[in-house]
A = this chain, B = another copy of it.
């Protein structure tokens, strides 16, 4: 068995990038791999529904600073029935969040990550993103999708509670999880990768998941490319940390978002989904992604919803 987190040189990484690139593939590059998802995929998703069991995946809005939450979310009450006059009285609240990072379940749109200054399809980040937001690769351009989701449940495959931080997943690991799921991932499907991060966090407490987390090794990207997925989600942020590529802190972010145009879902709580899949005996389900409509946003907090 080879060591989990084998280094990959920047040259090898760049070669992977060039080989897997989906630049120029889509008429509407703003939406990247979401171009693969249309009515047929929505119906394939619905076709996976058996029991009607519904599972959300959003972590709780976390307003408390912790080692894995250095930019706490804001939540303030703007009315407690004492501001707007008359009857009825209203309770109202303000929310705010700098949502990219390790603590909020969120979607990364294609505007989020630039490799050597370029976003997906070769758009110059400096040209299409400014103080007012992004004009390419936005969450507003993505809009909602409904497709089939498949859970790759690594701890379930291995019969453990969680993978240890730092463990890197290769093509054979993903393949084993697909086999375990008993479903062949098809173009336009969503892949959700569970490493058990929040089972571990609940048991052992928070750690700096930016320093160490289980996730996908860059060398597994061709497997994802071959499956031609529409979106990749994880209970971490898909990238194994520390990174196997020297000087490249998030190679899977680059290969997924920038190279292949595949949006990411970070920091999903997949514990309830794992339990539901096990109990229902199915690892495929309808997945609905309903991002906020932020015209110039690089992503947004969201709550992915599975129906089994």
Contacts and interface: CB of A to CB of B under 8 A. Distances in A.
A115 B88 contact: yes
B75 A125 contact: no
A114 B95 contact: no
Interface in A62-103: 64-65, 69-72, 74-83, 86-100
B112 A92 contact: yes
Contacts of A304: 290
A79 B71 CA distance: 13
B96 A113 contact: no
A140 B61 CA distance: 9
Contacts of A72: 65, 70-72
Given A70-B65, A143-B56, A298 B250 contact: no
A247 to B, nearest CB: 6
- Which residue, A53, A78, A86, A249, has most C-beta atoms of chain B within 10 A? A78
Given A82-B130, A91-B125, A74 B96 contact: yes
Contacts of A90: 100, 112-114
Contact of A130 (B51, B60, B80, B133): B80
A216 B69 CA distance: 34
Contacts of A247: 86-87
